[in-house]
């Protein structure tokens, strides 16, 4: 994967761009449908999923992104980005939309409020080099995982990192750790 888009409507896009660039990818910020041209994959960052959903609609990005995802474009959703990829969103706003690419049900803010943000060392299936230091910020919980979804890591037996075909999703913020292994995993897909 060479050229990777990072959805940059709201939230934590900059550190994703830095991580992807450090790994040798050509990272571009996506704000308009034109920005999607030529990208091989898309990162959907953390932030506020209700706001990002609204901005996706306003910028005319919903249909073009949905089409690319349906065509099998690799995607990496982190925190709010995972919510945007999920089939079912619990405790969402009624007008909040998601792409439904990943067969999981997620509950927003299920680990607690902002003050309850936490870090956890995750044992990630197939990842060499020891635990991944994961930063959770008002994280969503994955409450249901469909048959085609592989769980790669869990906290207290709750899935927090999963993959379905070319789509990878984390309940946490991998771009906030100085550890590029999950971005590397995404680029290798
Ligand atoms: N709580 C946010 C939401 O529901 C997600 C938090 C995050 O991305 N850090 O959209």
Beta bridge partners of 153: 161
- The residue whose two tokens read 């197939």 is 126
- Whether ligand 1 lies within 6 angstroms of the CB of 96 is answered as no
Nearest-5° Cα angle at 151, 174 to 47: 35
pTM, to two decimals: 0.96
User: 77 and 85 in contact (C-beta within 8 Å)?
Assistant: yes
Q: Is 173 a catalytic residue?
A: yes
pLDDT digits (tens, 9 = 90+) for 23-69: 999 999 999 999 999 999 999 999 999 999 999 999 999 999 999 99
Q: 146 is written with which tokens? A: 């469909």
Number of separate domains in the chain:
1
pLDDT digits (tens, 9 = 90+) for 159-172: 999 999 999 999 99
Using 50, 70 and 90 to split pLDDT, how confident is the model at 113? low
112 φ/ψ angles, rounded to the nearest 5 degrees: 125, 180
Structural domain span for residue 35:
3-188
Ligand 1 centroid distance, CA of 52 (Å):
10
Could you tell me how far CA 172 lies from the centroid of its own chain? 9
pLDDT digits (tens, 9 = 90+) for 61-98: 999 999 999 999 999 999 999 999 999 999 999 999 99
In 3D space, the residue among 74, 56, 60, 50 whose CA is nearest the CA of residue 9 turns out to be: 56
159: CATH? 3.40.50.880
Pocket test for ligand 1, best of 11, 47, 77 (most atoms within 8 A of CB): 47
């Amino acid at each position: 994967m060479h050229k990777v888009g990072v959805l940059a409507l709201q939230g934590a896009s900059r550190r994703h761009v830095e991580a992807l660039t450090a790994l040798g990818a050509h990272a571009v910020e996506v704000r308009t449908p034109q920005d999607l041209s030529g990208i091989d994959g898309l990162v959907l960052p953390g932030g506020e999923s209700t706001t990002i959903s609204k901005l996706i609609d306003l910028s005319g990005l919903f249909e073009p992104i949905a089409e690319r995802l349906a065509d099998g474009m690799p995607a990496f959703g982190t925190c709010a980005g995972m919510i945007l990829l999920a089939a079912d969103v619990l405790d969402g706003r009624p007008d909040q939309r998601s792409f439904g690419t990943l067969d999981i049900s997620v509950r927003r803010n299920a680990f607690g409020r902002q003050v309850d943000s936490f870090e956890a060392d995750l044992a990630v299936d197939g990842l060499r080099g020891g635990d991944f230091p994961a930063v959770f910020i008002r994280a969503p919980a994955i409450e249901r995982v469909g048959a085609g979804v592989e769980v790669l890591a869990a906290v207290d037996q709750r899935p927090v990192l999963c993959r379905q075909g070319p789509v990878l999703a984390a309940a946490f913020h991998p771009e906030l750790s100085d550890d590029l292994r999950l971005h590397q995993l995404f680029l290798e897909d």
